[in-house]
């Protein structure tokens, strides 16, 4: 009975909408059916083993291409020679009328290895259990890649008028060398020439205990890796007769000075906005502190509270973690050399030459040699006053009326600077409502999974954004 009732109301709606309007707005979408289809497609994608190393992204690219071909969206597999055996990037484009510039949806095909012994299900099985789809890549980032795909297919099937082409890109090797994104951007800039906006990983949403989104954190900036190796050379000899030429104590003294050095605190404009946005979630006096973060850092009580959050601490300064040490591997041998590695992360606007000069000044010993292990990528900072940002705000209000959208700085590194280099506005956006504890456990850890309810939420959220930005 209820079915026939629905049919009548649908028919009436159809009668009232002119063909032109219906084309602009698109035909209605059966979201539950699309969610079931998404679950099926993601399960299949999780079963394509793209563990990196070795990656084997070609199999993933072929899997995606078969779906795109079936849906009538032209897709090409690229860079197979340049990336090496079994590796590939994929590129596809859903054509619009070209009156506005394109928007790209980008994900990486590779996943990090899974230690199957520590999982409660087969990490490559694409198993559905307890309302979740389980598997390596469910969150990072095959789940997002399939949400991108299904949102794009929903747009195509609905017949919606597109002012912007939708470009779909899947890259190899994000988890290790980022060669997929780099090779793609270097070899095919013409495919990206008309792309104005790009969405990929690097967003971070805050979910409350009831599972509601407090805010959608759009990733507009990220810290820059500036890894250093410190080396001291000496004269090897027997440990039973100490000498002044042992490099180990000299290195330890240098490291001790670095460990005691506190990098200055500084809030970039994007970070100031982030704290002002989230202030509403806190009672006084914390709210006032967050509203004026620069001022609060001069108040000892406020400063202690703010810096006790490891994420907040990391977005307010350049950070240095001493992580690796090497001297002698024999207790009785003074080694010829001692070395250490530092994981340094710079704020987006920090000049790396200046940072190096500061470190050398602190160490104050020319016997300590610095060498750069991994230099910083192009700084990643993006404007917020864009049609895409407004499209995200509108979609988030529909999805979660009490939520807001803010700008997050990622403390880790992604492929985004590679695309940003071309002038593309590049946002990190997570379409799912994954509680922090869940993503902490699953991402690169054990029992990675995404709830089926979340899959439905994600495709609808992305569909709304793609529609709003037209
Ligand atoms: Zn990832």
- pLDDT tens profile 11-39: 333 334 444 445 567 899 999 999 999 99
> pTM of the prediction?
0.85
Strand ranges in 74-226 using DSSP code E only, listed in sequence order: 75-78, 89-94, 102-108, 127-129, 132-134, 166-171, 195-200, 206-207, 213-222, 224-225
Rg (CA), the chain: 25
The length of the chain in residues reads: 470
CA of 439 to the centre of ligand 1 (A): 12
CA of 447 to the centre of ligand 1 (A): 16
CA of 108 to the centre of ligand 1 (A): 7
Note the pLDDT tens digit of each residue in 165-203: 999 999 999 998 889 999 999 999 999 999 999 999 999
CA of 290 to the centre of ligand 1 (A): 30
User: What's the confidence (pLDDT) of residue 381?
Assistant: 87
Q: Is the dihedral of CA 82, 58, 414, 150 positive or negative?
A: positive
User: What's the confidence (pLDDT) of residue 22?
Assistant: 52
User: Whose CA is closest to 391, among 435, 418, 425?
Assistant: 425
CA of 465 to the centre of ligand 1 (A): 21
- Is the pLDDT at 91 greater than 90, yes or no? yes
Compute the average pLDDT of residues 464-469.
97
pLDDT over 70 for what percent of the chain?
95
CA of 52 to the centre of ligand 1 (A): 12
CA of 190 to the centre of ligand 1 (A): 25
CA of 36 to the centre of ligand 1 (A): 24
CA of 164 to the centre of ligand 1 (A): 26
Q: Is the dihedral of CA 450, 451, 454, 458 positive or negative?
A: positive
User: What's the confidence (pLDDT) of residue 211?
Assistant: 85
Note the pLDDT tens digit of each residue in 144-159: 999 999 999 999 999 9
User: Whose CA is closest to 228, among 365, 336, 356?
Assistant: 356
pLDDT over 90 for what percent of the chain?
87
CA of 111 to the centre of ligand 1 (A): 8
CA of 389 to the centre of ligand 1 (A): 22
Note the pLDDT tens digit of each residue in 320-374: 999 999 999 999 999 999 999 999 999 999 999 999 999 999 999 999 999 999 8
- Is the pLDDT at 96 greater than 60, yes or no? yes
CA of 414 to the centre of ligand 1 (A): 8
Instruction: Assign 6 a pLDDT band (cuts: 50, 70, 90).
Output: very low
Instruction: Assign 209 a pLDDT band (cuts: 50, 70, 90).
Output: confident
Who surrounds ion ligand 1 at CB < 5 A? 140-141, 201
User: What's the confidence (pLDDT) of residue 18?
Assistant: 44
CA of 379 to the centre of ligand 1 (A): 19
CA of 383 to the centre of ligand 1 (A): 23
User: What's the confidence (pLDDT) of residue 15?
Assistant: 38
Q: Which two tokens stand for residue 326?
A: 């090497």
Compute the average pLDDT of residues 81-108.
97
Note the pLDDT tens digit of each residue in 292-302: 999 999 999 99
Q: Is the dihedral of CA 131, 137, 140, 142 positive or negative?
A: negative
Phi first, then psi, for residue 414 (nearest 5°) are -130, -175
User: What's the confidence (pLDDT) of residue 440?
Assistant: 79
């Amino acid at each position: 009975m209820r079915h026939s009732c629905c049919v009548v109301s649908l028919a009436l709606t159809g009668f009232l909408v002119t063909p032109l309007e219906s084309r602009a707005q698109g035909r209605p979408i059966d979201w539950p059916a699309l969610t079931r289809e998404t679950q099926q497609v993601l399960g299949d994608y999780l079963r394509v083993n793209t563990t990196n190393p070795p990656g084997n992204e070609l199999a993933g690219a072929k899997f995606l291409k078969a779906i795109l071909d079936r849906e009538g969206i032209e897709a090409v597999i690229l860079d197979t020679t340049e990336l090496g055996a079994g590796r590939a990037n994929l590129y596809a484009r859903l054509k619009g009328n070209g009156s506005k510039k394109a928007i790209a949806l980008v994900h990486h095909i590779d996943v990090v290895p899974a230690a199957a012994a520590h999982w409660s299900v087969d990490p490559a099985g694409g198993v559905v259990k307890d309302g979740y789809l389980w598997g390596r890549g469910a969150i990072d980032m095959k789940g997002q890649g399939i949400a991108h795909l299904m949102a794009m297919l929903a747009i195509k099937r609905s017949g919606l008028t597109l002012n912007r082409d939708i470009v779909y890109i899947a890259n190899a090797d994000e988890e290790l060398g980022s060669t997929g994104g780099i090779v793609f951007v270097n070899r095919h800039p013409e495919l990206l020439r008309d792309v104005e906006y790009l969405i990929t990983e690097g967003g971070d949403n805050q979910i409350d205990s009831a599972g509601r989104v407090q805010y959608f954190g759009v990733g507009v900036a990220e810290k820059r890796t500036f890894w250093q190796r410190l080396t001291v050379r000496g004269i090897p000899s027997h440990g039973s007769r100490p000498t002044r030429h042992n490099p180990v104590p000299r290195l330890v003294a240098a490291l001790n000075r670095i460990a005691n050095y506190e990098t200055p605190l500084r809030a970039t404009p994007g970070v100031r906005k982030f704290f002002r946005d989230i202030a509403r979630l806190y009672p006084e006096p914390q709210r006032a502190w967050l509203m004026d973060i620069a001022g609060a850092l001069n108040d000892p009580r406020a400063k202690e509270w703010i810096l006790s959050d490891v994420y907040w601490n990391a977005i307010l300064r350049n950070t240095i973690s001493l992580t690796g040490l090497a001297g002698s591997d024999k207790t009785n041998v003074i080694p010829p050399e001692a070395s250490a590695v530092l994981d340094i992360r710079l704020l987006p606007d920090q000049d790396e030459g200046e940072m190096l000069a500061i470190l050398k000044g602190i160490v104050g010993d020319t016997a300590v040699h610095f060498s750069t292990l991994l230099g910083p990528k192009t700084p990643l900072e993006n404007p917020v006053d864009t049609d895409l940002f407004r499209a995200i705000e509108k979609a988030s209000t529909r999805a979660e009326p009490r939520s807001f959208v803010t700008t997050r700085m990622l403390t880790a590194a992604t492929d985004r600077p590679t695309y940003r280099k071309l002038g593309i506005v590049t946002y990190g956006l997570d379409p799912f409502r994954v509680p922090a504890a869940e993503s902490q456990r699953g991402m690169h850890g054990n029992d990675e999974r995404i709830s089926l309810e979340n899959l439905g939420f994600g495709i609808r959220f992305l569909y709304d954004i793609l529609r709003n930005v037209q």
